[in-house]
Amino acid sequence: MQTTLEFDQVFSALADATRRDIVRRAMDAGEGVAELASHYPMSFAAVQKHVAILERAGLVTKRRIGRRKVVRTNMAGLLVARRLLDQYEELWRGRIDRMTELVTEPKESNP
C-alpha cells in the first residue's frame, strides 16, 4: 500500500512537463542523461536534477553502461500513479451512479 508521501512524490515529479517528457523518452531506455539533455533548452545539470527528482519518486532508474548513465522508465513507479487515479475514478463513478439514481427516482407526491 502506498503512503500519501509516495503519491505526493510521484505526482509532484509528474507535475513538470519536462519530467513527463523524460519519463516518456526513457520508456525506450536508449538514452543516457547527456542524450536526454540535448532535447531541452536547459543545461545538462538542470536535466540531471530533473532525472534525480524522477528517480527519487521511483519513476525512472539509471543504469551505468560503459561511460553512460542510461535512464529507464520504472513502470512500477507509474503504476503508483495509476492506482491512485483508479481509486479516484472509482470514487467519482460511484458518486455519478448515486446522482443518477437520485435524479431518476420518482418523486413522492404530497397530499
How many Cβ atoms are within 10 Å of 63's Cβ, its own excluded? 11
Report pTM.
0.76
In a domain, 34, yes or no: yes
Q: What is the CATH number of the domain that holds 40?
A: 1.10.10.10
Residue 54 forms part of a structural domain: yes
Split into its structural domains, the chain has a count of 1
Question: Domain for residue 109, yes or no?
Answer: no
The answer as to whether 111 is a domain residue is no
Q: Mind listing the pLDDT tens digit for each residue in 1-31?
A: 556 777 889 999 999 999 999 999 999 878 9
Compute the average pLDDT of residues 102-111: 71
Within a domain: residue 72? yes
Q: How confident is the model at residue 109 (pLDDT cuts 50, 70, 90)?
A: low
pLDDT digits (tens, 9 = 90+) for 37-77: 999 999 999 999 999 999 999 999 999 988 888 999 999 98
Is 110 contained in some domain?
A: no
- The range of the structural domain enclosing residue 83 comes to 4-104
Let me know if residue 57 belongs to a domain: yes
Copy the grid coordinates of residue 9. 512524490
